[in-house]
Amino acid sequence: MTKTRRRRFRTLIALAAIAVTCASGGAARAQDDVAEPVGQVVQLPAKPGPHWFWLSDVLLHRSALYDADTGQMLGTITAGSPGVGFTIWPLFPPDHAHVYIPESYFSRGVRGERTDVVTIYDARTLLPQDEIVIPPKRAEYFPGVQPNAISDDGRFVAVFNATPAQSLSIVDMQEKKLAGELQAPGCSLAYAAGPRRFFMLCADGAALVVTLDDQGAQQSAERTPKFFDAEQDPVFESAGRRGSEWLFVSFEGKLHTVDFGAEPAKIGDSWSLLSDEDRKAGWRVGGGQPVALHAASSRLYLLVHEGGPDTHKQAGSEIWAYDLAQRKRLWRIGVSNPMAGFLRGQMRLGREGARDRALSWLLDTALPNTGAESIVVTQDANPVLVVMSLIPPAVTIHDATTGEVLREVAEPGLSGSVLVAP
The 10s digit of each residue's pLDDT in 162-200 is 999 999 999 999 999 999 999 999 999 999 999 999 999
How many structural domains comprise the chain?
A: 1
Exposed, middle or buried: residue 110 (CB in 10 Å: 0-12, 13-18, 19+)? exposed
Confidence of residue 2 (pLDDT cuts 50, 70, 90): low
Confidence of residue 31 (pLDDT cuts 50, 70, 90): very low
**Mean pLDDT in residue range 139-144:** 95
The pLDDT value recorded for residue 347 is 83
CA distance 156 to 176: 10
The pLDDT value recorded for residue 41 is 77
**Mean pLDDT in residue range 117-135:** 98
**Mean pLDDT in residue range 383-392:** 95
The pLDDT value recorded for residue 6 is 56
Domain that holds residue 185: 79-223
Confidence of residue 23 (pLDDT cuts 50, 70, 90): very low
Where residue 168 sits, what CATH number does that domain have?
A: 2.130.10.10
Tell me, yes or no, whether 420 lies in a domain: no
Quote the longest CA-to-CA distance of the chain: 70
The pLDDT value recorded for residue 30 is 45
Tell me, yes or no, whether 410 lies in a domain: no
The pLDDT value recorded for residue 7 is 54
Tell me, yes or no, whether 361 lies in a domain: no
Least confident of 62-66, 264-268, 340-344: 340-344
Judge whether residue 21 has pLDDT over 60.
no
**Mean pLDDT in residue range 351-357:** 81
Q: What is the pLDDT of residues 196-252, one digit of tens each?
A: 999 999 999 999 999 999 999 999 999 999 999 999 999 999 999 999 999 999 999
Tell me, yes or no, whether 154 lies in a domain: yes
CA distance 169 to 158: 6
Q: What is the pLDDT of residues 278-308, one digit of tens each?
A: 999 999 999 999 999 999 999 999 999 999 9
Tell me, yes or no, whether 172 lies in a domain: yes
Say what the pTM is: 0.92
Tell me, yes or no, whether 94 lies in a domain: yes
CA distance 284 to 309: 9
Least confident of 10-14, 127-131, 338-342, 359-363: 10-14
Tell me, yes or no, whether 73 lies in a domain: no
Tell me, yes or no, whether 362 lies in a domain: no
Chain Cα centroid distance, residue 364: 25
